């Protein structure tokens, strides 16, 4: 399983194609998007291919309905929105099937009000972070998402995964996190990039 992003694709066009009922263009973009989302679930959540495909399919149906109803606010963030929706669908499947998951998003859905407020603030920060990640090129997105989803990953593990030298991994990680930090501060202050 290797993540390759040779060229950035603007998936916001998918929203237009769906609204225009252009099935050929929709299918063309989906052939590229769906495998990326399946791989995302497999890499980040260790989902089986079958489970990942089911979750991505259901997530797309949910997003499709939102697009048809005109409820998707920012078509440019479609990729990150689909990633989050697929991830949430994966956790919903676990919850629905009553499987044990040691994850704060699934376990312990009821909590005291202070924890709920903290979770809302954390969620807002995560959404802002993912908005910032969406503004990065696709290669940088996949690179930083690897570290977000594998916080204990060593430089050597990342070097093997991305087929880069350890020095290049450190440099790339520094540059991307610096860029993300700047974007985050800019957006957190209510400015638009």
What's the number of domains the chain is made of? Answer: 2
Q: pLDDT of the chain along its 193 residues, tens only?
A: 444 444 456 778 888 888 888 889 889 889 989 998 998 888 777 778 888 899 999 999 988 888 888 887 777 878 888 888 898 888 877 767 754 344 444 443 334 566 656 656 676 787 788 888 888 888 888 888 888 878 888 999 989 888 999 999 999 999 999 998 898 888 888 765 5
Instruction: Report residue 190 CA to chain centroid gap.
Output: 23
Regarding whether 74 and 146 lie in a shared domain, the answer is no
Point out the domain boundary residue: 109, 128, 148: 109
156 sits in which H/E element: helix 155-162
Cα distances (angstroms) measured from residue 159 to each of 54, 136, 140, 141: 31, 20, 15, 16
108 sits in which H/E element: none
Regarding whether 175 and 122 lie in a shared domain, the answer is yes
Q: Is 192 helix (H, G, I), strand (E, B) or coil?
A: coil
Structure tokens at 10: 């603007």
Q: Determine the structural domain holding residue 45 and report its residue range.
A: 1-109
Regarding whether 115 and 30 lie in a shared domain, the answer is no
Rg of the chain (C-alpha set): 17
Regarding whether 103 and 93 lie in a shared domain, the answer is yes
């Amino acid at each position: 399983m290797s993540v390759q992003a040779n060229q950035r694709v603007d998936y916001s066009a998918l929203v237009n194609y769906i609204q225009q009922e252009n099935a050929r263009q929709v299918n063309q973009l989906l052939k590229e998007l769906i495998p990326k989302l399946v791989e995302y679930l497999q890499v980040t959540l260790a989902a089986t291919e079958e489970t990942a495909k089911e979750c991505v399919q259901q997530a797309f149906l949910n997003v499709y309905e939102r697009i048809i109803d005109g409820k998707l606010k920012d078509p440019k963030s479609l990729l990150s929105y689909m990633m989050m929706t697929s991830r949430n669908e994966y956790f919903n499947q676990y919850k629905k099937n009553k499987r044990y998951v040691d994850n704060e998003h699934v376990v312990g859905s009821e909590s005291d009000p202070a924890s709920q407020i903290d979770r809302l603030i954390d969620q807002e920060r995560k959404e802002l972070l993912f908005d910032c990640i969406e503004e990065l090129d696709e290669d940088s997105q996949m690179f930083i998402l690897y570290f977000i989803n594998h916080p204990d990953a060593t430089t050597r593990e990342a070097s093997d995964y991305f087929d880069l030298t350890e020095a290049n991994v450190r440099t790339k990680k520094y540059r991307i996190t610096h860029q993300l930090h700047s974007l985050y501060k800019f957006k957190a202050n209510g400015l638009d990039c």
